Structure 1
């Protein structure tokens, strides 16, 4: 768990984005502190209205860099003029990527009494608490312990209640959804997903983070479940963290690169249009240049549609905190190289969708009169002029993809 300090400049939209960042950080067990000196990470949400504002943003970024262990810069200036922060030791990210970057590759954390939550048309269903991993860099395990899996029938009834309450998208969450049922001696995730998809109603299901070590062994069966159920988004988040087996061993991850590739191959064989989401930790203390190149090669080979790149930072009490760290410049350079490749891959993925027709679920309001939608592979589609088209969250509609940006595209209702 991390402490964070966040500063927001500019318009109401920026403040709204900061609120969403904070909500996700709180949901993951992180907590806010008042000053950057007390924080594991500082977040600067920038504005870029006039030249004077830009100078102020750069000055504040320089101040925060000196006051905190890690700095993340997001917001309008970060997106429009990210190169301006090139001399500052900071991660420049889209605001939606900030919560994942703060987690340092750790499992998400839920409260001990985590219960289903309905947020608009999105139902959040924690299926278990805890994990079966012992990663050397992760502090979450100190808070959550070993996995504790409620019965399948209990989770199915919670899912049914969310659907009856109006949920159109069910998000299956946990520290590591892939190990659901391990504590009972059975690997129950495929059965749970199958039974949730059997619930009457029009809704979609998104599976949350599942570590490759937990998925491998059920990856063939799990891929079959995805292929057989239209209600399941064709989306899996399997964080590989490194392309080097040596680094994965030092991280004490439960998988190696070949197991990760086995999972990808199983889904490739069964699904035509699907999204692989994965994470990389850049600059782990034992990562040398050859290890970094292996990660770059894996990213280029597998080409995930969603990639979270996190610079390693030490968490107190973890074994990795006692390792001699790499310099900030090395981490910054490796992070930039991987982020550049990530952007190229994402830009290609979304660009290839232009001209196609997709069925999408409207999930939430966007900026202005737009809405955010998800297609069957959980790729983000923005539809503008929602009022004119009489579109509301929860609607299902067909759209033609008309244009694309790096990590989303635009759709016009058919």
Structure 2
């Protein structure tokens, strides 16, 4: 769990984005502090209206860099003029609004509030299917807050999912510290069973996104899980399996339980089962025992598996964890490795989105309003497509629409609607 400080500049849209960021951080167990020198991470939601504003943003970013352990810059200036921060040697992660919450976690499991009660937010239903995990990662403080996996019965989660759909949810987000080990405490991993029953037993038109599932838990049910994804159109073809390193030595020091080969086998199984899907993963760079050779293995794994959603986090110590007692790498080393991996990430992700340009993606779900008069849509592989001038097209969250992809901004696409339909009753 991290202490965060957030500063927001600019318009109402930016303030709205900051509220969404803070909501996600609170749901993940992080807590807000008033000043950057108290924080593990500072977040600056930037503005770029005029040249004077830009100068103020750069100045404040440098101040925050000096006052906190890690800095994340997001918002309009970060997205439109990211090179300005780099040119002025601002040591920060430059991220889209949507990517900020995951970047704060330092590779830790998400930590929702007490219990596993579902939440309806617009047309998005959030369903925590269990609490706790089976891991004992050396860098993660979350385990102290959550304990071992505690899985409610499949029937109970199906009923919660049904209630969310009946209440208006069009997208169900299956969440947990590690969804892949759901049911392990009862002697059998049941994620694939739960997903199959949600898709077959609940009436209505909706989509399901599966949240973070560590490679070790997924590996043992990879064939069954991939088969369920292939069978049901309700499931987004999307899997978030955080590998964290491409080196078995580092994974051992992290106590991650899986090996690189198991992660690769999961990827290969989904490649064989699905014509198109999105692999999401996380990497921690600069772990105390990570050598140059270890880092090169991680870069090679990124190139080999080519995930389309990648969270790159510089290692930072969490109090009370075993990794906090390890002699750390210098900040310069972590900065250089983070920069190199982030550049490779942008190449890999940009290539995937560039390949979409000119295609028509069918039955995209309008999930939420974006900045200004835009909406955020998700295609079958959970890729994000932004449609501008949404009101002119009569698009609202919950609509299904065919979208022609007209361009991209590396980590998401832009598109024009070609056919809208209301979901079937």
Deviation at 1:412, TM superposition (A): 1.8
Q: So what's the TM-score if we normalise by structure 2?
A: 0.96
Number of positions where the alignment pairs a residue of Structure 1 with one of Structure 2:
414
Deviation at 1:237, TM superposition (A): 0.2
Distance in 1 between residues matched to 2:371 and 2:90, nearest whole Å? 30
Distance in 2 between residues matched to 1:409 and 1:82, nearest whole Å? 18
What are the ranges of 5 or more consecutive residues in structure 1 without an aligned counterpart?
none
Counterpart of 1:249 in structure 2 is 252
The 8 Å contact of residues 130 and 152 in structure 2, kept in 1 or not, is answered as yes
Listed as ranges, the matches of 1:1-400 within 5 Å are 1-86=1-86, 87-198=89-200, 199-359=202-362, 360-400=364-404
Counterpart of 2:423 in structure 1 is none
Deviation at 1:402, TM superposition (A): 1.8
Aligned-residue Cα RMSD (Å) equals: 1.0
CA deviation vs aligned residue, 1:275-314 (integer Å, no higher than 9, x gap): 0000000110101111111111100111001101011100
Q: So what's the TM-score if we normalise by structure 1?
A: 0.98
What are the ranges of 5 or more consecutive residues in structure 2 without an aligned counterpart?
419-425
Deviation at 1:82, TM superposition (A): 2.1
SS in 1 for 2:19: helix
The 8 Å contact of residues 89 and 329 in structure 1, kept in 2 or not, is answered as no
Distance in 2 between residues matched to 1:95 and 1:368, nearest whole Å? 14
Deviation at 1:257, TM superposition (A): 0.5
SS in 2 for 1:325: coil
SS in 1 for 2:6: strand
Deviation at 1:138, TM superposition (A): 0.2
SS in 1 for 2:310: strand
Deviation at 1:396, TM superposition (A): 1.0
Deviation at 1:38, TM superposition (A): 1.1
Distance in 1 between residues matched to 2:68 and 2:371, nearest whole Å? 31
The 8 Å contact of residues 181 and 189 in structure 1, kept in 2 or not, is answered as yes
Moved over 6 A (4+): none
1:407 to 392, 411, 414: 411
